[in-house]
Amino acid sequence: MGKGKGFSFNQGIVLGLVLLLAVGVGMYFKQPASAVGGVVQEPVASGDCDAVQCFQNPAYTYGAVNEFTSGAVSGTNHIKVDGKAPVASLANPEKCSVMQYWLESTTDFCGIVDETEVACGSNQIQSRCIANGSISLNAFDQFTALTAGGGANNITLGANGIKNVDFTWEGAAEQANMPMGGCLCVEYPNTISYAKPSGAGLSDTSCRFKKTYTVASTGNTYQCYDVPEGFDADGVGDKKSFALQMKASASDPSGTAKVTFFPANYYVTDDGDFALGVEKDLNDDTAATFGSANSLTIGIN
């Protein structure tokens, strides 16, 4: 082989060593992939979910537990992905999509798990719930208990008079009846100018939810007031006290007054969204979303 042509054996060895060194230096300065929670992630800009590579594709399970007992709550899954209509099951959602989840239960009030970005690997979405419990509702004229419907314990309210009736609300421990708020509807004779609640977070603010209410007597009217969110969500079963002030018109009132609590809960709208309401008004449906109303009627003479 002539001078200057081809490579000698020693030259080949040197070239090989140079190439190996170059590769080694390159690997040294390249940041290694990091694995966190089953995710293999090359160094990428913060929040760039699409650049993440998965060792294991997303795998999801869904469920709910009681807020106080941690026991499982059964019901129907409603899983929304990227704003689409909810489905009852979705084991393998697409990575980086955004999910919302709600468990529809016949026994519990369950919250919405909102804006969850789908991640690699095995994951669980879990809602927290509060059991729907019964409550005791009582009314007092000063310190005298008023029986339901009035009877011998009617309140006396003359023309232009003002009367304050005191109420107590007592629930069961680790349960709730209005954890998401709702409406307090007060029905009273037309000969009463107003009937306004106060105390325990109640006020004469109109109810923020739509409630279709039908009076028991054609001589009555009604007003629905707002019950704030979290009204009894603490689950301690404490006794709440509130008052109802009634002012008579120039006519001497008689008849019955009635207070009714209507709880709010979530429901699925015809458009496939989650909405909070006392009735399914976005679906043109007056049916109650959940739970049972609690009422108390007193007589007026």
| Cα 259 to Cα 138: distance, rounded to the nearest angstrom | 11
pLDDT, residue 41, reads 32
pLDDT, residue 143, reads 65
Question: 3-class secondary structure for the chain?
Answer: CCCCCCCCHHHHHHHHHHHHHHHHHHHHHCCCCEEECCEEECCCCCCCHHHCEECCCCEEEEEEEECCCCCECCCEEEEEECCCCCECCCCCCCCCCEEEEEEECCCEEECCEEEEECCCCEEEEEEEEEEECCEEEEEEECCEEEECCEHHHCECCCCCCEEEEEEEEEECCCEECCCCCEEEEEEEECCEEEEEEEECCECCCECCCCCCCCCCCCCEEEEEEEECCCCCCCCCCCEEEEEEEEEECCCCCCEEEEEEEEECEEEECCCCCEEEECECHHHCCCCECCCCCEEEEEEEC
Give the domain 42-132 fold.
Immunoglobulin-like (2.60.40)
Contact 267, 284 (CB under 8 A): no
pLDDT, residue 23, reads 38
Question: What sign for the dihedral angle of Cα 272, 276, 277, 279?
Answer: positive
Q: Which two tokens stand for residue 68?
A: 């106080």
Hey, how many other C-beta atoms are within 10 angstroms of the C-beta on 23?
A: 10
- pLDDT one-digit tens code per residue, 11-54: 554 444 434 444 343 333 333 322 222 222 333 334 678 888 99
Q: Residue length, the chain?
A: 301
- pLDDT one-digit tens code per residue, 215-249: 998 899 999 999 999 999 998 988 999 999 999 99
| Cα 203 to Cα 245: distance, rounded to the nearest angstrom | 11
Q: Which two tokens stand for residue 3?
A: 């001078």
pLDDT, residue 142, reads 73
| Cα 23 to Cα 19: distance, rounded to the nearest angstrom | 6
Domain ranges across the chain: 42-132, 135-300
Residues of the chain predicted below pLDDT 70:
1-47, 143, 147-153
Q: What are phi and psi of 157, to 5 degrees?
A: -140, 105
| Cα 257 to Cα 247: distance, rounded to the nearest angstrom | 12
Q: Which two tokens stand for residue 63?
A: 């469920």
Report, at the CATH architecture level, how domain 135-300 is classified: Sandwich (2.60)
CA proximity to 200, closest of 164, 143, 239? 239
| Cα 245 to Cα 227: distance, rounded to the nearest angstrom | 17
Instruction: Please count the CA atoms within 13 angstroms of the CA of 193 that sit on its side-chain side.
Output: 13
User: Do 42-132 and 135-300 have matching folds?
Assistant: yes
CA proximity to 163, closest of 239, 252, 30, 85? 252
Hey, how many other C-beta atoms are within 10 angstroms of the C-beta on 155?
A: 18
Q: For the whole model, what pTM was predicted?
A: 0.81
β-strand partners of 170: 136, 239
